[in-house]
Amino acid sequence: MTLLCIDVGNSFAHAGLVRDGCVLERCDIATALLAQGPARIAETLSRLARKAEGAAWCSVVPRVNGPLVAILAGSFPSRRVFHLTPESLVGLAIAYPHPAEVGQDRLANSVGAQKLCGTPVVAVCLGTASVIDVVSPRGYEGGAIAPGLAAFADYLHEKTAQLPRIDTADLATPSAIGRSTAEAMKIGLREGFAGMVKALVAAVMADLAADHAPVPVIVTGGGAHVLAEGALPNARFVPDLGLIGLEEASRRASIR
């Protein structure tokens, strides 16, 4: 069964056709545009919907939910549309004390990581925010939240008089000693962000170490390119973790 899965984040909504854990086709839509519901956005999603037998979605941006639900209702009038929430989640207990506070994207990533690696597992999503999620044999435990890579770059530019805006897609420099303001900023962003992520994961792993052998780590999100290979032990990169998790969450709910 092919599902249209849509993971609405703060900056982008990631949409893709997913079957048996494989993303067959995908696209990214600016969340601000999706919130406005223009016809061309609806047509983009409807084009994907025509190739799907149902849909699954999650969102961390409430103002988008209405326009998205309307698009999906038009595309799937008689087919199942699954919305991932703490209440609809099946197959992953929530050990977190405040389930209503857990972002739906965190649930999607956690289900995806659980599907790929079992438990325990740590999911690291480096998007608008840097989010670390822990899934243990007890269920979803919680994690850590810190600024994303772009947030660091934007802050330096917006809160200073002379520092330029840096394109975080390219933070390469000839050495670790910046010979220009831009180079110095790239080094600070690259090494500082990578160091922050490694420290957060290490802190989580230290808490898990007492109870578990080495824990696998799944990394996703646009900021992952900053991490050097091997920066996180037992880690692998899965670009569409949230979409994979949405498909799995929908499958589990349908057979409950």
Distance from C-alpha of 189 to C-alpha of 164, rounded to nearest angstrom: 13
- Residues 48-72: b if buried by 16+ CB within 10 A, e if exposed: bbeebebbbbbbbbeebeebbeebb
Q: Does the domain formed by 92-256 have CATH 3.30.420.40?
A: yes
| Model confidence at 211: pLDDT above 80 | no
pLDDT tops 80 at residue 213: no
The CATH homologous superfamily for domain 1-83 is ATPase, nucleotide binding domain (3.30.420.40)
Which is the catalytic residue, given 7, 105, 133, 240?
105
Separation of CA 20 from chain center: 19
- Is residue 121 exposed (0-12), middle (13-18) or buried (19+ Cβ within 10 Å)? buried
Work out whether strand 12-19 and strand 3-8 pair parallel, antiparallel, or are unpaired.
Answer: antiparallel
CA distance 224 to 164: 23
Fold agreement (1-83, 92-256): yes
Domain assignments of the chain as residue spans, ordered by start = 1-83, 92-256
Strands 81-83 and 54-59: parallel
- Residue 105 annotated to the active site: yes
Q: Are 79 and 54 in contact (CB under 8 A)?
A: yes
Portion of the chain with pLDDT greater than 70, in percent: 98
pLDDT value of residue 212: 65
pLDDT at residue 255 in the model: 79
- pLDDT (0 to 100) of residue 146: 98
Which pLDDT score is estimated for 203? 94
Average pLDDT of the chain, as a whole number: 94
Q: pLDDT for 4-27, tens place per residue?
A: 999 999 999 999 999 999 999 999
Burial of 148 (0-12, 13-18, 19+ CB in 10 A): buried
| Tens-digit pLDDT profile for residues 45-99 | 989 999 999 999 999 999 999 999 999 999 898 788 999 999 999 999 999 999 9
pLDDT at 209 over 80: no
This prediction's pTM: 0.94
Range with the poorest average pLDDT among 41-45, 52-56, 145-149: 41-45
Burial of 11 (0-12, 13-18, 19+ CB in 10 A): middle
